[in-house]
Structure 1
Amino acid sequence: MPLDVTQPHPAGAADARRRAVAIWLLVICGMILVMIGLGGATRLTGSGLSIMEWAPLRGTLPPLTEAEWQRLFALYRQIPQYTLLNPDLDLDGFRRIFWLEYVHRLWGRLIGLAFLLPLLWLWWRGAIDKRLRPRLLVLFMLGGLQGGVGWFMVASGFFPDSIAVSQYWLVVHLTLALVLYGAILWTALSLLRPASLPGGPPALRRAVFACCVLVTVTIVAGGFVAGLKAGLTYNTFPLMDGRIVPDGYGDLRPAWRNLTENIAAVQFNHRLLATATAVTVLGTLAWGLTRARGLAKAGLWALGIAVAVQYGLGVATLLAVVPPLLGTAHQIVAALVLSAALLALHGLRPTAALAHDPLHEDGFRQEGRA
């Protein structure tokens, strides 16, 4: 007979319900990966400002009449992107950019439903451990916040003389997506692997943690590159217009503005961080393979391969002047690099940390015996 994951008494039932929740969360992670790709494609095709309304319920349906298409197109013609960048765009051209943004928003709504409905059902059936429930509620609220941040990001492109969204809002949107994705993935891994299985020495964990930090900072720096469209300039590698450090690197005042508003500095910083990340990851891989075991070793291999692919993809995207297909792939693989880093780090969790982990199997089994 199939195991009923809602029965609390057998230890096997606790394992089964933990796996069920983990699989559901991994599905959500997959949906977020698709969302990251859609977001990249939307940005790279200039589609993100095609819908000027925030209508969480009514916006679920696409335009169903010609009059509705004309109304939405008229709204788009009021913003600077149309007047300054696309004055020759006709209704058919508007439809093309509209559909990509519409799918992007619709997919976000589907992620919310795919999280909320199973959460309510599993909660009702008693399949979610009591100590896990607050975490899942926080994750759901973060997802809702992400939708609001996305709208503020879009609205930042409506200001006079603006033909794109603010790079600051774009980075906030990206960073929150990374936090949400990483937290859900880590929770799923903790449910699938709650037992204490030593994966390597503490020094290796510290090295992998450094890799995680570098990966995250590099992705955030890439958000500023995307927001400023800095990849459309200095399309040579490894030099930038024949120089290691480009002219004008520190021209803006105050100096901190160069980190977020200076195209030359933003691209150089992203290159530098990407190179530092690749060197650190490959060095950690070479040093750690003989010391890592189990999931940690698999995670290190995945991290090394993903970083190598991502670095090559980044160079190719730059040299090709950021075609949408390569740019979207670069954004998706960035999330896969982060996934591999978290996988390796999770495999190196120290026993002391597991003892206080609310998702540790002892807690589930103790509740199962209650």
Structure 2
Amino acid sequence: MPEKRSIFEEVGDSPKQAAAPGGIDRGGQGARGLIRGWLMLLFALVVVMIAVGGLTRLTDSGLSITEWKPVTGALPPMSAGAWETEFDKYRTIPEYQLQNKGMTLSEFQYIYWWEWGHRQLGRVIGLVWAVGFLGFLVTKKIPNGWTGRLVFIGVLGGLQGAIGWWMVSSGLEDGMLDVASYRLAIHLGLAFVILGFIAWYLYRLGRTQAELLQARRDANPGLIRLSNVLAGFAFVQILLGALVAGIDAGRAYPDWPLMAGGFLPPQPFDLVPLWRNFFEDAGLVQFMHRMAGYLLFAFGIFVWLKARKSAYRRTQAGFNMMMAMMLVQVILGIVTVIYSAPWQVAILHQFGAVMLWAMILRGRFLAQYPISQSVRG
């Protein structure tokens, strides 16, 4: 029986129990460090996947495998007869008949291995996600509120595989020598969406829940809004870059700052109907990518100047890194154009887009969750 207390007893006379420090981070926080390491691995694999996808496009290898077999397709041809069967399938598509007629088996094998490697890497990413997620789920190491987020990453990865085949199938249709550029843009765009979510989760898991709650009180709403616009602008530019890659528009006009001696490329609206020019005319597509790049760079400077007024040094430093990467990316873009997009420079330009995307999101994160500092700075 609990001891009876007098109604006249002073509250101060009752024994006090001190609150345990860090209580908000003790319950349900799971293995934040291990999950963060797993997400880092996934992030690195997706970056490699983007690079391999770019090389697959630059080597014209993407249509070498004409079927989508998510499970059995993991095994490449294992005999001379199997290679001949795959080669026969490739001979039936327009790319071979109109562009690569007379290709030897060894030449076919070269492009086949690029596409097979690209698809195999996708399977590896799916396996890493599945093993990691199920392992954390079974051992109950997932922090409260994070199960849905981690499932979401897996769903996006599965969707990416389906969109990849949807993209490839467009290049197998009559009269097509490449995949449809807008489908390539959607495929690449989703890859950057996946990267963006993984990066954001990494930033969140790098801080304790208590730190995030405390930091949010000092968020900079104006800088958050500007960062949102900057991220959206950068994403549009990434999609335009995919359109450029889809029709090899980066090799069309190797002069800068003009295009064939003029501000606009020659005959930018010759295709009928008019909308086709914005997806299929190499000059106009490259022009749009150039103009969007200039505007993005100008707006990036504006956001950077606003961020310099932040009271938090780490927030300033985050936007300084973003601005430096944006300058590097502009230079890489110009070099890519001038040298007609050699694969080495083109891949660097694509990797620069990945780095810039991650840094913009990091700046956005630091605007919302600034890192505290001493009064003396």
Provide the TM-score with structure 1 as the length reference. 0.87
1:143-182 equivalence runs, <5 A:
143-182=157-196
Aligned residue for 2:143?
Answer: 129
SS in 2 for 1:245: coil
* Map of 1:207 onto structure 2: 226
CA contact (8 A) 1:295 1:344 kept: no
Distance 1:310 1:33 in 2: 16
Residue range with higher mean Cα deviation, 193-202 or 166-175:
193-202
Q: Is residue 2:297 matched to residue 1:278?
A: yes
Matched, 1:226 2:245: yes
| 1:305-348 deviations in Å (ceiling 9; x for gaps) | 21111111111111111111211221121111111100100111
Equivalent position amino acid for 2:239 in 1: V
1:297 maps to which residue? 316
Could you report, residue by residue, the CA deviation over 1:161-200 in whole angstroms, capped at 9, with x for unpaired residues?
A: 2111111211111111111111121122112234233676
8 A contact 2:196–2:361 mirrored in 1: yes
Give the number of aligned pairs.
Answer: 343
AA at the equivalent of 1:62: P
Distance 2:56 2:277 in 1: 26
Q: Secondary structure at the match of 2:368?
A: coil
Which residue does 1:240 correspond to in 2? Answer: 259
Map of 1:331 onto structure 2: 350
Deviates most, 180-189 or 143-152: 180-189
Report whether the alignment pairs 1:191 with 2:211.
no
8 Å Cα contact 2:30/2:144 also seen in 1: no
Q: Deviations over 1:193-245 (max 9, x none)?
A: 34233676332222222221111110111111111221121111110111112
Aligned equivalents of 2:68, 2:281: Cα separation in 1: 31
Residue 256 of structure 1, CA deviation: 3.7
Return the alpha-carbon distance in structure 2 between the equivalents of residues 109 and 294 of structure 1. Answer: 41
Q: Determine if the alignment matches structure 1 residue 307 to structure 2 residue 330.
A: no
Match of 1:44 in 2: 58
Residue 348 of structure 1: SS of its match in structure 2?
A: helix
Would you say the 8 A contact 2:253–2:340 is kept in 1?
Answer: no
Distance in 2 separating the partners of 1:45 and 1:57: 25
Unpaired stretches in structure 1, ≥5 consecutive residues: 1-8, 352-370
Residues 318/134 of structure 1: CA separation in 2 closer, same or farther (3 Å cut): same
Give the one of 309, 322, 335 matched to 1:316.
335
How far apart in 1 are the matches of 2:269 and 2:333? 24
Q: 1:81 aligns with which of 88, 95, 109?
A: 95
Q: Confirm whether residue 63 of structure 1 aligns to residue 77 of structure 2.
A: yes
13-22 vs 280-289, greater mean Cα deviation:
13-22
Partner of 1:354: none
Cα deviation for residue 14 of structure 1 reads 5.5
The residue type equivalent to 1:146 in the other structure is Q
Which of 1 and 2 has greater Rg? 2
Residue-by-residue CA offset, 1:37-75 (whole Å, 9 max, x unaligned): 000000011011111121111111222211111111111
Aligned-residue Cα RMSD (Å) equals 2.1
For the residue of structure 1 that corresponds to 2:255, the secondary structure is: coil
CA distance in 2, matches of 1:84, 1:153: 20
Asked which structure has the greater RCO (Cα within 8 Å, sep 6+), the reply is 1
TM-score normalised by the chain length of structure 2? 0.85
CA distance in 2, matches of 1:92, 1:252: 38
2:105 to 60, 75, 91: 91
**8 Å contact 2:224–2:367 — kept in the other structure?**
yes
| Identity, % of aligned positions | 34
